[in-house]
Chains A and B, each alone.
Chain A
Amino acid sequence: MSVEEEIRGFAHALAEDLDRLFDDLEGAAALVRRRLGSENANSRRWGPFQPDQLRMMEAEADSLLERHPLVYGAGIIFDPDRIVSPEQLIPWRVRGESGAPEAYGFDFDEHSRDYYDFLQLPWFAEPKATGEPKFTTPYVDFLGVDEYILTAAVPFADDYGFVGVAGSDIEVSTLERVMMRAAKNVSGRFVLLGAEGRIVCSTTARFLPGELLEQDTVSGHQLMLPTRVPTLSLYWE
């Protein structure tokens, strides 16, 4: 097999994984839309959610974590204008120390200095504006889980419009481990790129994660992962 075929093989395997992740996020978004939407059909603001409704969202997030080893955290993020109870804004689950999912605690103290200004962030603002799913470039989650992550998000809406997104976080370190395992079977070196040319991980120390691949100064091959939603691309020389 040529290096290019090996790289394409890896691209397809990773693309299938990411497509499955988006399938499941769409499933979770549709379920929340169907179950909670019908019960809240008569008002613009949803909620407050009942314990069984919260448990349903929790179970969806847990099954997503179980089905996708790449994923570190998952859940629903509501538009603050669309729900009644701000403490129910983000039912979120993460992998605990033992690997089992656990709730991620939030601080809803309105006097807190730490304001969760996610309204303008790409994983929320873009699906809200376009109605399309979004896969972000890596970023440092600096007051949150303190990790370097990528986020996949799928919006859902009702008759009044956008309600929120079903989202999941992937740690760059986890993605890197997956890539390294697959890269053992690829004889050439390659780079995984996020949007705007940001290097996510690479199998050569010449290209460091976090840096931008200067597209005009390099002359290699580039391949978009064949995912339904634009996600990552591969670069090799």
Chain B
Amino acid sequence: MTVTYTDAHQAHQPAGSGAPGGRSQGLRQHIYRALPEIDRAEAIVTRLRDSMSLGLLKEGDRLPSEVEMAESFGVSPTTVREALSALRSKGLVETRRGRSGGTFVVSLPAASVPLMRQRLEGLSVVELRDMGDHRAAVSAASIQLAASRAVDSDLHAIQRLVEAFENAEGAHSLARADSRIWLEIAVSAQSRRLLIAQLHLQLESSELLWAPLGNPRSKEAVLPYFASMMDALHRRDREAAVSAATQRIQDDTFHMIDQKLTLALHEGSKDDTHVR
């Protein structure tokens, strides 16, 4: 049942007659729903872990000092210490003492194959298609803007990331390298909002896209798209850039849905003949 904004209708409604209500209660609740009860330390853990997942923080990177982080996150040093201790217990960072001491990234959060399989089984084809549509919308807008706004140093940065992707091996490295390219395109578009949208989309989709399930996404299949995108960006050809990016993402969506269908149709028991 759809609820629509129709101011015209509302204007027709005589005062006091009681306009038919709607499911707008649902929307209201959505707007004013309680914020997640994640405390600040947890929020810092999530932020740092996500940054590691996307390769924004790499193995061996040194984190700023506790005092610096407390200042930039706007929290107390105790909260930062709490967050670092949680990351340490997950084995993601380690703290070394001494002159060259500090807190370092030691390993990256790896999404396990069973977890990826479970996630893919939990998502419906409709949801995967919708995720692809969202990625296509955000990425097309980003690359279109990047084609007109990127300066040489931006293009070099993207090019270097494409080369890093070419050299990447293994699902996690490919996922991170791929994400970094899309994020850099949003950076080149000079749009903080598109960057944030792309960040969320990459966190949601990239491990899933590159998951080594069944017939994994091939790096070789993706490279020609990056070549066309780079070429279009260099020529400042907005249409060609959008077209290459969109086709690439359509291919991704097709791949993920194909993986999902293979899992759904060929795995598990075949004796479940009942419709429900």
The chain A residues found within 8 Å of chain B, CB to CB, are 10, 13-14, 17, 69-70, 77, 80, 85-87, 89-90, 104-110, 112-118, 121, 123, 139-146, 148, 151, 167, 169, 172-173, 176-178, 180-185, 201-205, 208-210
22 contacts between A and B (CB under 8 A): A14-B275, A17-B275, A86-B21, A90-B21, A106-B21, A109-B21, A110-B15, A112-B19, A112-B21, A112-B22, A115-B3, A117-B3, A121-B2, A140-B2, A141-B2, A143-B2, A144-B26, A145-B23, A172-B126, A176-B124, A208-B253, A210-B130
Q: A80, A181, A184, A208: which contacts B257 (Cβ < 8 A)?
A: A208
Chain A proximity of B16: nearest CB distance (Å): 7
B98-127 vs A, CB cutoff 8 Å, 1 = contact: the mask equals 000000000000000000000000001111
Q: A104-B26, A110-B15, A202-B125 are in contact. Are A151 and B7 (CB under 8 A)?
A: no
* Bound Cα distance from A13 to B275, whole angstroms: 7
Instruction: Tell me if A86 and B129 are in contact (CB < 8 A).
Output: no
**When chains A and B are docked, how far (Å) is the Cα of A29 from the Cα of B17?**
26
Contact present for B124 and A144 (CB under 8 Å): no
Query: Does B1 belong to the interface (CB within 8 Å)?
Result: yes
Closest to A148 in B: B126
Given contacts A89-B20, A143-B23, contact A113 B5 (CB under 8 A): yes
B30 to chain A, nearest CB (A): 7
- CA A205 – CA B21 in complex, angstroms? 40
> In this complex, which of B5, B18, B125, B273 has the most chain A Cβ atoms within 10 angstroms of its Cβ?
B125
B73 at the interface (CB under 8 A from A): no
Interface residues in B77-116 (C-beta closer than 8 Å to A): none
Neighbouring B residues of A113 by C-beta, 8 Å: 5, 7, 10
* CB-based contact B129/A144 at 8 Å: no
* Inter-chain contact A107/B22, CB cutoff 8 Å: yes
Write out the residue numbers on chain A whose beta carbons fall within 8 Å of the beta carbon of B10.
Answer: 113, 115
Known: A108-B21, A121-B2, A210-B129. A146 touches B276 (CB 8 A): no
Chain B residues within 8 Å of A108, by CB: 18-21
Shortest B274–chain A CB gap in Å is: 8
Distance (Å) between the CB of B127 and the closest chain A CB? 7
- A151-B1 contact given A106-B22, A114-B27, CB 8 Å threshold: yes
A123 CA to B126 CA, complexed, in Å: 22
Q: Known contacts A116-B24, A143-B2; is A110 also within 8 Å of B129 by CB?
A: no
Instruction: Report the Cα distance A67→B253, complex, angstroms.
Output: 35
Tell whether, in the assembled complex, residue A201 and residue B125 are in contact, meaning their CB atoms are under 8 Å apart: yes
Q: Residues of A contacting B26 with CB < 8 Å?
A: 104-105, 143-146
A202 CB → nearest B CB, Å: 7
Shortest distance between the CB of A85 and any CB in chain B (Å):
8
Partner of A114, one of B3, B270, B273, B276: B3
B264 contacts partner chain A, Cβ-Cβ < 8 Å: yes
Give 6 nearest A-B pairs by CB, closest first.
A116-B22, A114-B24, A108-B21, A86-B18, A143-B3, A144-B23
- Given contacts A113-B10, A181-B272, A184-B265, whether A210 and B19 have CB atoms under 8 Å apart is no
* B25 is an interface residue with CB less than 8 A from chain A: yes
Q: How far is the CA of A87 from the CA of B22 in the complex (A)?
A: 10
Q: Which residues of A contact B261 (CB under 8 A)?
A: 180, 203-205
In the complex, which residue of chain A has the Cβ closest to the Cβ of B276? A69
11 more A-B contacts (CB under 8 A) besides A69-B276, A115-B10?
A105-B26, A107-B21, A115-B7, A115-B9, A141-B2, A144-B2, A178-B275, A181-B276, A184-B272, A203-B265, A208-B253
| Contact indicator per residue, chain B 239-273, by CB within 8 Å of chain A (1) or not (0) | 00000000000000111011001001110101011
Q: Is B72 an interface residue (CB 8 A)?
A: no
> Using Cβ atoms and an 8 Å threshold, which residues of chain A touch B153?
none
Contact A70 B276 (CB under 8 A): yes
A182, B23: Cβ atoms closer than 8 Å: no
Cβ-neighbour of A115 out of B22, B30, B253, B270 (below 8 A): B22
User: Does B215 count as interface, using CB distance less than 8 angstroms?
Assistant: no
Q: Give Cα distance in the complex from A143 to B1, angstroms.
A: 9
Bound state CA distance, A87 and B20, in angstroms?
8
Q: In the complex, which of the residues B13, B126, B255 contacts A209, with contact meaning CB atoms closer than 8 Å?
A: B126
Q: How far is the CA of A107 from the CA of B22 in the complex (A)?
A: 6
B2 touches A118 (CB 8 A): yes
In the bound complex, what is the Cα–Cα distance between A169 and B273 (angstroms)? 24
Interchain CB contact (< 8 A) of A143 among B22, B130, B270: B22
Asked whether, in the complex, the Cβ of B129 is within 8 Å of the Cβ of A139, the reply is: no
A172 & B124 in contact (Cβ 8 Å cutoff): yes
